[in-house]
Copies of this chain bind each other. A is one copy, B any other.
Amino acid sequence: MLPKLNVVPFVSVDSMMKLVHAVGVERFLVELAGFIEADFKRWESFDKTPRVASHSAEGVIELMPTSDGEVYGFKYVNGHPKNTKEGRQTVTAFGVLADVGTGYPVLLTEMTILTALRTASTSALAAKYLAPKGARTMAIIGNGAQSEFQALAFKALLGVDRLRLHDIDASASRRCAGNLTGFGFDVTICDTVEDVVLGADIVTTVTADKQNATILTDNMVGPGIHINAVGGDCPGKTELHADILRRSGIFVEYPPQTRIEGEIQQLPADYPVTELWQVMTGAAEGRANNRQITLFDSVGFAIEDFSALRYVREQLARTGLYEELDLLADPDEPRDLFGMLLRAQQPAAA
């Protein structure tokens, strides 16, 4: 008899927060980046289905599936910019990992926090390959829900310890700075974008408005910096002036998706870009020289979620930070589903 075939491990929001603290947030970000890097290096072994989006006037609901032939994963994620006015999150997510051989789910987990972590790990991982050597100063434009995760990932993976913060809402910058107290950053809050980029080796843009904004213009960007563009991630939502793109070496996750959702939606469909996974395997060049502007045009890809699901699953047995969810009907005799239902009403005599 197989034990507990009906049970799927479930990581709640509470368990995820406990897990992050049990591992330590910086170590979590580093180890997660390791899983992402390992999966990017075997990029071609993945089934890269396009995400399935259901659009409405208020926002979008998406399913992001992928598989490496042995494990299947998908993320449910919404994007509703007006949600914050009602006290809700703009983006919430949950995810599932399943065994390809049986089709049985093996993990259900919250992914709102996990997505913030994987986005930050991916950004810092890209910068490890692309940012100027010895980068210590990062400007963060947009100091909302993603900002602290980005800061900590860059500290943990690259040693960035000087932050320059700017947000059109100064209270967001103050909250970000406050939340990062005790993590070893030297933090400067700046009133303008012109000011915040001064002296920065890395500029992270992570604003939230759904519009073609021009957070950064060409004259603000000096030679040799790395731009980590996180906020532009759907059609009609960009953050950088197109002139910056034309001066930069552009690195992306998955071109068919990034051309629709990323900063490069502003460029012709055949504009040359480099796939990040090829930089990691050595098949493509990363930063060309110390004057090149490198741009990671991040939109978030299903493989990153897959890596994050794999990572969380690996922590379950050691930490015990999960519940057992009675999700799968499991009759003693597989063909007798109705019999199981009957017996739930009238327990059979032993």
**A61 to B148, alpha carbons, bound, how many Å?**
36
Chain B's closest residue to A14 (CB) is B326
8 Å CB contact of A84 from B63, B87, B147, B334: B334
Question: Among the listed B58, B89, B113, which residue makes an inter-chain contact with A100, where contact means beta carbons less than 8 Å apart?
Answer: B58
**Complex CA–CA separation, A263 to B35 (angstroms):** 44
Over the window 176-212 of chain A, the binary record of Cβ atoms lying under 8 Å from chain B Cβ atoms (1 yes, 0 no) is: 1001000000000000000000000000000000000
A277 within 8 A of B: no
Instruction: Return the CB mask of A81-99 against B: 1 if under 8 Å, else 0.
Output: 0011011111010101010
A341 touches B113 (CB 8 A): yes
The answer to whether A272 has its CB under 8 Å from any CB of chain B is no
The secondary-structure label for the interface of chain A is: mixed
**Is A47 an interface position by the 8 A CB rule?**
yes
With A54-B47, A105-B76 given, is the CB distance from A342 to B94 under 8 Å?
A: no
Contact indicator A335/B172 (Cβ below 8 Å):
yes
Task: Write out the residue numbers on chain B whose beta carbons fall within 8 Å of the beta carbon of A92.
Answer: 103-105, 328-329
Q: Tell me if A340 is interfacial: C-beta within 8 Å of chain B.
A: yes
A80 within 8 A of B: yes
Check: A144 CB closer than 8 A to any chain B CB.
yes
Are A102 and B56 in contact (CB-based, < 8 A)?
no
User: Is A10 a contact of B325 with CB atoms below 8 Å?
Assistant: yes
Partner of A335 from B144, B335, B340 at Cβ < 8 Å:
B144
Please give 8 more A-B residue pairs, beta carbons under 8 A apart, in addition to A18-B344, A49-B52, A54-B67: A13-B326, A13-B327, A21-B344, A61-B67, A63-B65, A83-B102, A89-B329, A145-B334
- Residue contacts A-B, CB under 8 angstroms, 30 given: A2-B88, A5-B88, A12-B325, A12-B327, A13-B327, A21-B341, A54-B100, A61-B65, A63-B74, A76-B98, A79-B103, A83-B103, A83-B334, A84-B334, A90-B334, A92-B104, A92-B328, A94-B328, A112-B328, A112-B337, A113-B337, A113-B341, A116-B338, A145-B335, A145-B337, A149-B338, A172-B335, A175-B333, A176-B338, A179-B342
